Amino acid sequence: MMKSKGKLTLIGCGPGAADLLTMRAVSRIRSSDIVLYDRLVSQEVLELIPENIERAYVGKKPGDGGVQQGELNQLIQRSVLKGLKVSRLKSGDPMIFGRAAEEIAAASIVGAEVEIVPGVTAALAAASESVITVTERAELQSFIVTTGRAADADTSPDWAKIVRPGVCVAFYMGVAQAWKIQSNLMIAGVPADAPADWIENAGTDKMRNVKTVLGRLAHDTTEQKVQNPAILLIRYPYSLQNEARQKASMVSL
């Protein structure tokens, strides 16, 4: 097996605004030989790539399958074997729903150095812009990221086990799943008045926050025409559990 002198850098480019990139991200972009990007990376960020650096679009195009992960892995391998510094731009943080594992493996297998530059993940940009604290003393002690869309039914997350009292959950890729999320959580006993917030286009000037509650989630998602990319934050603070208990005990009196 040939050994590579090249390097693959997975660069977290945040949710859209160029000024949310880290200085390290900008410095690695500037020192690359080739930059690979997909449609989730914003135009504003692409403008940071110096003109003399080669760039290649490796995402899907409307109507075709686009560059498949296998082809992309081969492109990474060919480039690092030539000794090139390959920067792969990822939206948000590369390690969160970024399919980073496959690209890291492709580069490592040919002996290339791999570096990951962290980025602001969509859920945290969404939390900041909607001014929602995802942990809160005595109310929310865990913050969980999950997905509305699993690769296949067998690996679909069991949200009912995840959304417990004291937990704030961020759903990535959840827009088409609002009804499924609402019904699963309500059947599991999460109160209908648990706050549910959609944050569309976090970290861009098109940001929109749609505020609702679990019991109206599917209705309001449709009515407000929530569009991708969007993050759903659902909070189940302890005080809501206590209220729900009080209501239940009054009913049984």
Read off the amino acid at residue 250: M
Evaluate whether 107 touches 55 at the Cβ level (below 8 Å). Answer: no
Residue among 5, 7, 60, 64 flagged as catalytic: 60
Residue among 5, 19, 38, 61 flagged as catalytic: 38
Binding site for ligand SAH (CB under 6 A): 15-16, 90-93, 96-98, 121-122, 126, 172-173, 199, 201-204, 228-231
SS3 177: helix
Min. distance of Cβ 97 from ligand SAH in angstroms?
A: 4
SS3 92: strand
Read off the amino acid at residue 147: T
* CA diameter of the chain: 76
| Residue placing its CB nearer to ligand SAH in the complex, 98 or 237 | 98
Evaluate whether 148 touches 173 at the Cβ level (below 8 Å). Answer: yes
- Angle (CA) 23-97-189 rounded to 5° is 125
Q: Which two tokens stand for residue 241?
A: 């559990």
Give yes or no: 154 in active site: no
DSSP β-bridge partners for residue 212: 196
> Which of the residues are catalytic?
38, 60
